[in-house]
Amino acid sequence: MRIHVYGKPQDTRDRFDDYLDPSKTAIVSIDMHRGHLDSSPQCPCPAPRAREIVAPIDAFHASARALGVPIIHVRSVVRRGGEDDIRGISSAWRRTFPLYVGEIPNSDAHAIEGSVWTEFVTRVEPDDLIVETKRRLSAFYPTDLDFLLRNMRVESLVLDGGFTDCCILNAAFDASNRNYRVIVARDLVRGTDDNLENAALAMVSLHLGLVADSADILGEWKNRRAGRNAA
């Protein structure tokens, strides 16, 4: 399979077969909800670059479901009263990110439980799984994602969603530190900008796992399934 190492394509020469078993893999799709993707001026933490990957992510997930690969949707959700964020020790990004992008008028509304901002924009099917206690940058903290994956006998994760240089990168670090085999779908993540996106993908490729295009990932899974059916 072709992967990207520090931005350059390489052939894996079958060195990563253990990463590519669809029967031991789950897709973890991160923060594809209205709080990032809504086009309204009231969007509390806009990630406009990620809007272009909604349809491609839906198509990738549909193909993965057909191959029996489970989809886990993770979203940020904080308590209505803000005790675990804006009224307590607030998330660092709420204070640092505006230094670059400017003030975000409705940022206090981001991820409030029960609000429209937590509604998924990507498609969620009845058999998909949802993890919704993500209160900081990693999909693993303080959620039950690790517990869920262990019980599903999952060994490899494919990450998609946003931001590449924030929540995707944090999830990749935490997954790798927990000994999951990490793959980031290069064409199905978007960062703050091109520079940070490329830097995050380079870090993943050098230290945390594989960076590959979704079509190549699907191709490997289909070949594996075909080979098992033929046997």
Is the CA virtual torsion 161, 164, 166, 169 positive or negative? positive
Q: Where are the beta strands (DSSP E) in the chain?
A: 2-5, 8-11, 25-30, 71-76, 129-134, 156-162, 181-190, 209-212
CATH class name, domain 2-39+46-76+121-230:
alpha beta
Residues 6+ apart with CB under 8 A from 127: 65, 70
CA–CA distance, 16 with 181 (Å, rounded to integer) = 10
Nearest in space to 81 (alpha carbons), one of 30, 105, 106, 115: 115
CA–CA distance, 229 with 224 (Å, rounded to integer) = 9
- Count CB neighbours of 36 within 10 A: 28
The pLDDT of residue 231 is above 60: no
Q: What is the pLDDT of residue 230?
A: 63
For the segment 169-200, what is each residue's pLDDT rounded down to a tens digit?
A: 999 999 999 999 999 999 999 999 999 999 99
When pLDDT is cut at 50, 70 and 90, the band that residue 225 belongs to is confident
Helices (H), 40-168: 54-66, 93-96, 98-101, 145-151
Beta bridge partners of residue 120, listed in sequence order:
33
| Domains of the chain, residue spans | 2-39+46-76+121-230
* Torsion, Cα of 13, 14, 15, 21 (10° steps): 150
Residues 6+ apart with CB under 8 A from 227: none
For the segment 28-81, what is each residue's pLDDT rounded down to a tens digit?
A: 999 999 999 999 999 999 999 999 999 999 999 999 999 999 999 999 999 999
For the segment 148-159, what is each residue's pLDDT rounded down to a tens digit?
A: 999 999 999 999
**For the chain, what percentages of helix, strand and coil (3-state, to nearest 5) are there?**
40, 20, 35
Residues in the chain: 231
